[in-house]
Chain A
Amino acid sequence: MTNSAHSQWWDQWLRNWQSLAAPQRPANPWAAALDEWSRVLSPPTPSHADVFARMLAQGKSFFAFGDALGQSFETHDEGLDVQALFLRSLESMKPGLDAHLWSGASAPSGLWQLPLESWQQTASILTGMPVDALHGAAGGAPTLPWLQQQLERMLATPGLGYTREHQEQLQKLGGLMIAYQKVFNEYTAAYADMGKRSIERVKVRLKEREAAGEPPIDSTKELFDLWVDCSEEVYAEFVMSDAYVRLHGEMTNALMALKMQERTILDDSLDAMNLPTRREMDTLLQRFQQTRRNDKALQSEMWALQTKQAELQVRIAALQDCLSSGKKKKAKAKAKAKAKAKAKKKRT
C-alpha cells in the first residue's frame, strides 16, 4: 500500500462513517477502523514486525482516547463546555476501570492495562502456560471466590494409592497456581486503583492550569499527554511505596514457586522415562564450571611460572655472560701477567 493509498483509505472510511446515522455508528469508530486498516496493511518484514505491532497497539490506545472524547461530544449540543464533558467522560471511566483492566477492552483506560498485559506475556513465556490459563479464564477475569474455595478444598484432599506422590505434586501445582492468581488479582486491583487516582490527578492539573492562567489545551494529543503525565506521576508514587514493594515481591515469588513446581513435575516425568533431568543437568554444569575454573587457575599459574622461568632464563644468561666475561678478563689478565713476566725475564 502506498502513502496515497493509505490516505485515500482513511478519507473513504471517514466519508462512510460520517454518512452513517448516529445510532448506526460503532462505539469506538477510530479504534475499530485502525483494526480494519491494519488488516489491509502489507505484512512487515519479520525483523520489524514487533515495532509494527507496538505502534499499532499504541495507536489504538490513542484512538480509543479520541473515541471517548468524540462520544462525549456527540451526546451534547452545540455550545458545549469541552472541559466539563471531558471530566464527565473521565469520571464515567472509573466504575468500568476494573472491568476494562480485566477484559482487555479497547477503552481509554487501556493505558493502564498495558504494563499488566506485558507482565502477563512475560509470565506466560516464563511458565510456558498460556496467558488465559495463568491469569484465569475469560480474558484474565479473576477466579470467582466460591470456585477458588472449591478448588482449594479439592486440592487439599490427600492423595491415595500407587500414584499418591504424583497426585500430591499436581495438587501442589494447583495450589501454587491459585496462590499466584490471588496475588495477581491483588496486583491488578492496585493498578485499577492507580488508574482511578490518575483521573483525579488530571482534574487537579486542569484546575491548576486554570488557576495559573496557562494557555488552554487545544488538541486531543495535548490532553492525552496530560493524562500520560498524570498516570506516570501517580504510578511513580505508588511503585516506590512499601505496599507495592511487598506486592511486587509476592507476585514474582509466587510465579517463581509455580515455575519451580512445574520443573519438579517435569523432572519427575523425565526421570521416569530414563531421560536426563534439569536437576542432573545442573549438577553436571556446576561440576563442569568448577573444572573450568580450576583449569583457568592452573593455566594462569602456568603462565605465571612460564613468565618467571623466562625472567630467570634472562637472568641466568646475564649471569653466564657476566661469568664468561669474568673468565675472559681473568685469562686476559693472566696472559698479560705472563707476557709481562716473560718480558721481564728477557730483560734480566
Chain B
Amino acid sequence: MSSIQFRPDQVTKEMLDYAKKLGEGMETLSNLGPIETGVTPRDAVYAEDKLVLYRYRHPNGDPPRNPVPVLIVYALVNRPYMTDLQENRSMVRGLLEAGLDVYLIDWGYPDRADRFLGLDDYINGYLNRCVNVICRQHQREQINLLGICQGGTFSLCYTAIHPHKVKNLITMVTPVDFQTPDNMLSRWAQQIDVDLAVKAMGNVPGELLNWTFLTLKPFRLMTQKYIDTVDILRDKKAAKNFMRMEKWIFDSPDQAGEAFREFVKQFFQENLLIKGQARIGEHSVTLDKLVMPVLNIYASEDHLVPPAASTALKGHIGTKDYTELLFPGGHIGIYVSGKAQKQVPPAIGAWLDDRT
C-alpha cells in the first residue's frame, strides 16, 4: 500500500483552510496589545551599573518559611524574565509558594562601555557584591545559590572560590563538561578564532547568538513552529502565550566582549572547568571545593545543554550530599511547562527545607 494517500482537491482545501487560519491569526495578533512579562511583584534592593538585584514579594504577604534566602543567577545570554514569564508559568512564583525568600540578578543589557567586563567582574565582582548585600540584609554569613544555564556555571565558579558564603548550591540545566560528544554548540565553537571575533566586534551582538541558537534546530525553530502556530492563534490567550515566548527568544542582550571571549575559550574550547584549571581573575576554580550540599537539575531533552554535560558534575565535587533531579523535558520547558511548575520548584523547596 502507498504511504501517501490523498486527493489533489484535498491539497487545495488544506491550503485554503491554512490561509484562512493565517488571516484569523494575523487579526488576533493585530489586536493583542503590548505583551507583559515578569508578573510577580518585586523590589529592587541593589543596583550597580546595569545590574539590578530584585527581591520577590510573597503572594500573601507571609514571611518566607525557609529563613535562608535563595539567589537566582541567570545566564547572560537571555533575559531572566523567563523564570517569571506569566502567572501560571513562573518558577519564581513556585519557589515563593515553596516558602523560599527569592532574589534574582538581572544583568541588564551591556553596551560598548561594558566591552571590557570580564568573568572576574561578573563573578567576583557583581555576583559577590549581590551575595554580600543579601548576607548583610539578613545578617547571615551564607545564602543558597540557584544558578541557571550559564548562570549555573557562574554559580559553580563562585561557590568554588567563595565556598564559605554558599550554604546550599542548586544548578539547573548547567553545563559542566563542555565537550560531551553530543554538544552541538561546543562543536561549533571549536574552530572559531574568538580573539579575532571579539577584537572585530567589540561586544558580541545578540543577533549573532540568536542565529546560533536557532540554527541548532533550524527547520523546527525557524519554519515548522510558525506553521504550526497558525492552529492556535484564534485564541487570544494562546496567542499571548506564543508572543511572550517569541519576545523572550528574540530578546537577546549583546554580550560584553571580554566575558564572552573568556567564557568561550576557557569553557567551550578548553573545557577547563571539568579539568579543574579554570581561572576567574586571580582565583583558580576547582570543583572539589564544593563541599556544601548540591542539587543538580537537568532536562532529558535539552538540546542546548545535553544531560551528560550537566551530570558530569557528580564526579568532580567535594561534597557527599549530592542529589540529581531529572526533568523529562527540554531546556525551556524546565521553566515554563505545566509539568515543570508542578515538579521543579516544590522539589527545590523540599530539598532546601531538609538542609536548613
Contact = CB atoms under 8 A, between A and B. Distances in A.
B354 interface: no
B46 interface: no
Interface in B20-73: 20, 22-27, 29-30, 32, 34-35
Interface of A: 1-3, 6-7, 9-11, 14, 30, 33-34, 37, 41-42, 44-45, 47-48, 50-52, 54-55, 57-59, 61-63, 66, 69-70, 73-74, 81-84, 86, 111, 114-115, 118-119, 122, 125-126, 206-207, 209-210, 213-214, 216-221, 223-225, 228, 231-232, 235-236, 239-240, 245-246, 248-250, 252-253, 256-257, 259-260, 263, 278, 281-282, 285-286, 288-289, 293, 296
Given A82-B4, A259-B201, A219 B113 contact: no
B121 A293 contact: yes
Main secondary structure of the interface of B (DSSP, over half): helix
Contacts of B15: 30, 63, 66, 220
Given A58-B226, A115-B218, A245-B188, A210 B121 contact: no
B102 to A, nearest CB: 26
Contact of B229 (A55, A69, A281): A55
30 contacts: A6-B23, A6-B24, A11-B16, A14-B12, A44-B26, A47-B34, A52-B29, A55-B226, A57-B226, A58-B224, A59-B226, A59-B227, A61-B223, A61-B227, A81-B2, A114-B219, A115-B214, A118-B211, A122-B207, A122-B208, A218-B5, A220-B14, A245-B188, A248-B188, A249-B188, A256-B200, A259-B200, A260-B199, A289-B121, A293-B125
B19 interface: yes
Contacts of B34: 47
Contact of A114 (B6, B187, B191, B222): B222
A221 B14 contact: yes
A252 to B, nearest CB: 5
Contacts of B202: 278, 282
Main secondary structure of the interface of A (DSSP, over half): helix
Contact of A228 (B11, B19, B26, B224): B224
Given A224-B227, A285-B115, A50 B14 contact: no
Q: How large is the interface on B (under 10, 10 to 19, 20 to 34, 35 or more residues)?
A: 35 or more
B222 A245 contact: no
Contact of B184 (A9, A207, A240): A240
A189 to B, nearest CB: 17
Interface string B111-144: 0110111001100010001000000000000000
B356 interface: no
Contacts of A245: 187-188, 190-191
Contacts of A228: 219-220, 223-224
Contacts of A81: 2
Nearest to A42: B30
B294 to A, nearest CB: 27
Give the most central of B3, B6, B27, B113: most A CB within 10 Å: B3
Given A2-B27, A220-B11, A82 B227 contact: no
Nearest to A17: B12
Nearest to A48: B29
A240 to B, nearest CB: 6
B208 A223 contact: no
A235 B192 contact: no
A69 B19 CA distance: 17
Contact of A48 (B5, B23, B112, B243): B243
A210 B5 CA distance: 12
Nearest to B226: A58
Contacts of B193: 249, 252-253, 256
A74 B8 CA distance: 8
Nearest to B7: A82
